[in-house]
């Protein structure tokens, strides 16, 4: 009744932005990500007879409130989907990056939780089923079941059975790297859930976003197949800008960007002008992730660290999918 799983986070190059079903977490568009080895969560789940409720600790600190509730609601889903009955669990997680730094800790978190909980219960899920289940904890987490380049296929069905991730290329296929640029200034957060909903419901740019996905996806998959770094980077950066453009059209309008976010974007463009191929992407927060090649690691690291407002730069290689410890 006890198991431990490790999952890495992932950063989307083609973003998931908008749900067609809020409760099953079914997206409006396919997305494509890179799994990163620098950011991971290891989770142990132990189901025990006699526990009155689930407990959760993160980096050895007991969690209460919304954090505990998100874990417990997800375990409820597993208990009901697999007819488990009322047995509760102790959940212990460790994260390698500060949860608040905004590096998709929910992706590695839910992937590790889904894997450890189902393994602890003796359920033998294949990767597809594990991805489908993980999706219902946090959408982007369904991609963290796999390493390397991963596509979340939105599916068409209303029950979500065909909405799960598949691997496009494994972690060792291509040594591209990503720098996570942590900004010192934190702005008040519009959660990804709230941001997506407001955008889908009110932004006149939303349909244009959805229409742009198929060509972006086809192009980036060609780029990955050809290992054409410029092609992949250009498409990823433009896709991110389109996603963020939809938020400016929402009512009321909002943006995740800070001054320092734009300073990093501008520096990345200047690096390119100076001959260093590097491309940025940004999720539902102010921090920036920069895609680069190994031979430029030192130049990229030094340049990013020296931008005013940058608190930290965390370098990462491509990461593996779920492993059981």
Select 53 or 188, whichever has its Cβ closest to ligand PMV: 188
**Cα–Cα–Cα angle for 314, 315, 316, rounded to 5 degrees:** 120
State how far the Cα of 50 lies from the Cα of 192, in Å rounded to an integer: 36
* Residue 192 lies near ligand PMV (rule: CB under 6 A): yes
Q: How far is the CB of 135 from ligand PMV (least distance, A)?
A: 9
Q: How far is the CB of 187 from ligand PMV (least distance, A)?
A: 15
* Residue 28 lies near ligand PMV (rule: CB under 6 A): no
Please report, as residue ranges, which positions from 50 to 109 form the binding site for ligand PMV (by CB under 6 A).
Answer: 106
Judged by CB under 6 A, the number of residues near ligand PMV is 12
Q: How far is the CB of 226 from ligand PMV (least distance, A)?
A: 23
State how far the Cα of 200 lies from the Cα of 251, in Å rounded to an integer: 10
Select 5 or 111, whichever has its Cβ closest to ligand PMV: 111
Instruction: Catalogue the E-assigned strands of the chain.
Output: 2-14, 19-21, 26-27, 31-48, 55-58, 61-62, 88-95, 149-153, 164-169, 177-183, 278-282, 288-292, 310-316, 323-324
Q: How far is the CB of 32 from ligand PMV (least distance, A)?
A: 9
Please report, as residue ranges, which positions from 110 to 169 form the binding site for ligand PMV (by CB under 6 A).
Answer: 138-140
**Alpha-carbon distances of 324 from 44, 106, 148, rounded to whole Å:** 10, 18, 18
CA count, 13 A, side-chain hemisphere, 255 = 12
Q: How far is the CB of 27 from ligand PMV (least distance, A)?
A: 8
Select 44 or 106, whichever has its Cβ closest to ligand PMV: 106
Q: How far is the CB of 269 from ligand PMV (least distance, A)?
A: 21
* Residue 247 lies near ligand PMV (rule: CB under 6 A): no
What is the CA 275 to chain-centroid distance, rounded?
A: 29
DSSP state of 290: E
Select 96 or 138, whichever has its Cβ closest to ligand PMV: 138
What is the CA 178 to chain-centroid distance, rounded?
A: 14
* Residue 283 lies near ligand PMV (rule: CB under 6 A): yes
CA count, 13 A, side-chain hemisphere, 176 = 27
Identify the residue among 5, 7, 12, 112 touching ligand PMV (CB under 6 A).
Answer: 12
Select 72 or 106, whichever has its Cβ closest to ligand PMV: 106
Identify the residue among 29, 31, 267, 316 touching ligand PMV (CB under 6 A).
Answer: 31
Q: How far is the CB of 295 from ligand PMV (least distance, A)?
A: 28
Helix extents (H) in 136-228: 192-202, 206-226
Give the burial string for 204-234 (b: 16+ CB within 10 Å, else e): ebbeebeebbeebbebbbebbeeeebebbbb
Given the rule CB under 6 A, which of 10-18, 89-97, 215-223, 247-255 is the region that contacts ligand PMV?
Answer: 10-18
Identify the residue among 3, 4, 6, 15 touching ligand PMV (CB under 6 A).
Answer: 15
Whether the Cβ atoms of residue 145 and residue 321 lie closer than 8 Å to each other: yes
Select 18 or 219, whichever has its Cβ closest to ligand PMV: 18
């963020």: which residue's tokens?
244
* Residue 16 lies near ligand PMV (rule: CB under 6 A): yes
Select 107 or 169, whichever has its Cβ closest to ligand PMV: 107
Contact footprint for ligand PMV (CB under 6 A): 12, 15-16, 31, 106, 138-140, 192-193, 283-284
């Amino acid at each position: 009744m006890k198991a431990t799983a490790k999952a890495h986070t992932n950063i989307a190059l083609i973003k998931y932005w908008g749900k067609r079903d809020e409760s099953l977490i079914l997206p409006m568009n396919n997305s494509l990500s890179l799994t990163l080895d620098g950011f991971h969560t290891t989770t142990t789940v132990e189901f025990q007879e006699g526990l009155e409720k689930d407990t959760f600790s993160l980096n050895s600190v007991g969690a209460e409130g919304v954090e505990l509730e998100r874990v417990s609601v997800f375990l409820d889903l597993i208990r009901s989907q697999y007819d488990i009955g009322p047995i509760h669990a102790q959940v212990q997680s460790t994260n390698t990056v500060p949860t608040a730094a905004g590096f998709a800790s929910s992706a590695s978190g839910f992937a590790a939780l889904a894997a450890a909980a189902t393994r602890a219960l003796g359920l033998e899920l294949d990767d597809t089923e594990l991805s489908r289940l993980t999706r219902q904890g946090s959408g982007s987490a369904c991609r963290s079941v796999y390493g390397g380049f991963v596509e979340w296929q939105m599916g068409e069905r209303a029950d979500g059975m065909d909405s799960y991730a598949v691997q496009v290329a494994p972690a060792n296929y291509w040594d591209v790297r990503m720098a996570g640029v942590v900004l010192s200034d934190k702005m008040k957060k519009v959660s990804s859930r709230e941001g997506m909903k407001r955008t889908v419901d009110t932004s006149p740019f939303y349909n244009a976003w959805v229409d742009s996905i198929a060509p972006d996806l086809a192009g980036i998959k060609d780029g990955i197949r050809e290992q054409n770094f410029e092609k992949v980077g250009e498409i990823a950066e433009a896709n991110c800008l389109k996603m963020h453009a939809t938020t400016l059209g929402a009512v009321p309008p909002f943006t995740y960007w800070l001054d320092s976010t734009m300073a990093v974007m501008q520096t990345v463009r200047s690096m390119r002008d100076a001959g260093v191929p590097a491309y940025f992407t940004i999720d539902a927060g102010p921090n920036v992730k920069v895609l680069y090649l190994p031979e430029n690691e030192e130049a990229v690291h030094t340049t990013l660290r020296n931008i005013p407002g940058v608190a930290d730069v965390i370098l990462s290689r491509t990461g593996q999918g779920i492993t059981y410890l």
